[in-house]
Chains A and B, each alone.
Chain A
Amino acid sequence: SAVISQKPSRDICQRGTSLTIQCQVDSQVTMMFWYRQQPGQSLTLIATANQGSEATYESGFVIDKFPISRPNLTFSTLTVSNMSPEDSSIYLCSAGLAGGYEQYFGPGTRLTVT
């Protein structure tokens, strides 16, 4: 199994600023995934982060707005840039073990933009 932690757990930010969310996995994983969950909605995949290469973004998400770093096999960051109130959401980090069937999730970062 894998345990995923995220920092910060929540934050309140002013519009126009940026926030970097950290995700730490207690096992080495090939792929890490970032999701957004808007209030009352399901999870939407933002991007897939592979160690040593640029992240792959889903339709509607761009690198300039959500830059991702993946410096090693256990860590990733997601930055929410130039924030607006519409970015207020829960951001979740996730990973699966190679050859495994389960995907593990962090507890999420609750972001409020004022």
Chain B
Amino acid sequence: DAKTTQPPSMDCAEGRAANLPCNHSTISGNEYVYWYRQIHSQGPQYIIHGLKNNETNEMASLIITEDRKSSTLILPHATLRDTAVYYCIVRSPHSGNTPLVFGKGTRLSVIA
């Protein structure tokens, strides 16, 4: 799986959009970009994933650049409950039988 690079920490004002960047310049053609988050004292939670088109669900939006070398996770209206560590992971699709490999992630602090 391709390696990812994320900023170690970010702050965001409550109610504002949180934009979390991820670089994955060595991503290969069939690899997807996945985002998970880990709220304090909980197990990681799936947020969203995509291949090359922008994706949106009830939690977030994922914007992938045309060359697929970077992406941005967008939380449109951040709340205090979105304070967590966010992990960007690149992996092959439908790989339920292979484990996720976690980098260091971005610690997002949402501030009132």
Contact = CB atoms under 8 A, between A and B. Distances in A.
Interface of A: 4, 29-31, 33, 35, 42-45, 48, 92, 94, 96-108, 110
A30 B96 CA distance: 9
Majority secondary structure, A binding face? strand
Contacts of A99: 94, 96
Interface string B55-86: 00000000000000000000000000000010
Q: How large is the interface on B (under 10, 10 to 19, 20 to 34, 35 or more residues)?
A: 20 to 34
Given A42-B104, A101-B32, A101-B94, A33 B43 contact: no
Given A43-B38, A43-B44, 17 more contacts: A4-B43, A31-B96, A33-B99, A33-B100, A42-B87, A42-B103, A43-B100, A45-B99, A94-B43, A100-B94, A100-B96, A101-B32, A101-B95, A103-B99, A103-B100, A104-B46, A108-B42
Contacts of A33: 99-100
A31 B97 contact: yes
B43 A102 contact: no
Nearest 10 CB-CB pairings of A with B: A105-B43, A96-B96, A33-B99, A100-B96, A43-B102, A102-B46, A31-B97, A42-B102, A97-B96, A105-B44
Majority secondary structure, B binding face? loop
B45 A98 contact: no
B97 to A, nearest CB: 5
A5 to B, nearest CB: 11
A107 B42 contact: yes
Contacts of A35: 99, 102
A43 to B, nearest CB: 4
Nearest to A93: B43
B2 interface: no
